[in-house]
Amino acid sequence: MGIYPKRNSRIPEKLAIGLRLLLGAVFLLGLFIQLLHAGEEAPDTLFARGDGPVEIYMFTDYFCPPCKGIEPYLEQALAELNRRGAKIVFVDKPIHAVTPLYSKYFLYAAKKAGDFAQMLHIRHALFDIAATQNPQTERELASSLKAYKIPYVPMDVKPVFDRWARLIDTYQVKSTPTCIVKQPGHDVRVLIGGRDIPEGIDRLLKELNKGA
């Protein structure tokens, strides 16, 4: 009766606690990785359409006269490029003090937008509102968008603004409008201004027509 050593019942208890802590740490690490990847990848789907291989990055400001001037051309040309599978990426570069407000509502509306045509309609409306009504407050802009029958959903836009800032820095964009064209087998093309951009995109469309 007294010859057997007393079993230490605390060892299994400590082991169980350690396993629970380890599993909890693994779960939290996996959750953190998922959130990290979501923060990196999700914003692009809000301001981009298409999946390449040709990529078009449009840097504009709603209060920029040359941007407004080429917008009718871009609506047709970018729609054609999108039909051909090009990835179209819209980046708002804030030149005017009120631009971040318009950019925020562009993202709000883009979250509800389905196809590329709806995204173009949102941009068209914002350019038109900036030129004809020039609302300066959130309430005024929201009211103007309602008149255009554009639905929107509020969201946290900071991740997208941060992503845009990185793109602006990556391509060293100093003015608007600026268009970056990335095409397999070609150097990155930088098109700047209301004349250079249409000419460059027309050349791209001709090249794509030849390769079709």
Structure-token pair, residue 38: 């979501």
User: pTM to 2 decimals?
Assistant: 0.79
**CA-to-CA separations, 138 to 36, 96, 151, in angstroms, rounded:** 30, 15, 15
pLDDT of residue 45: 78
Is there a single domain that holds both residue 71 and residue 170? yes
For residues 13-18, average pLDDT: 66
Residue 131 lies in a domain: yes
pLDDT tens for 141-191 read: 999 999 999 999 999 999 999 999 999 999 999 999 999 999 999 999 999
Q: Do the Cβ atoms of 80 and 205 come closer than 8 Å?
A: yes
Is there a single domain that holds both residue 35 and residue 109? no
Residue 1 lies in a domain: no
Please list, in sequence order, all residues whose beta carbon lies within 8 angstroms of the beta carbon of residue 88, skipping any fewer than 6 positions away. 48, 49, 50, 56, 58, 78, 81, 82, 116
Residue 2 lies in a domain: no
Is there a single domain that holds both residue 67 and residue 20? no
Is there a single domain that holds both residue 89 and residue 182? yes
Is there a single domain that holds both residue 130 and residue 190? yes
Q: Do the Cβ atoms of 175 and 192 come closer than 8 Å?
A: yes
Residue 118 lies in a domain: yes
pLDDT tens for 29-75 read: 554 444 444 444 445 778 999 987 999 999 999 999 999 999 999 99
Range of the domain at 21: 10-41
pLDDT tens for 71-116 read: 999 999 999 999 999 999 999 999 999 999 999 999 999 999 988 9
Query: What is the distance between the alpha carbons of residues 190 and 30, in angstroms, rounded to a whole number?
Result: 40
Is there a single domain that holds both residue 166 and residue 206? yes
Is there a single domain that holds both residue 121 and residue 16? no
CATH number at residue 61: 3.40.30.10
Q: Do the Cβ atoms of 116 and 189 come closer than 8 Å?
A: no
Domain count, the chain: 2
Closest CA to 51 of 88, 25, 80: 88
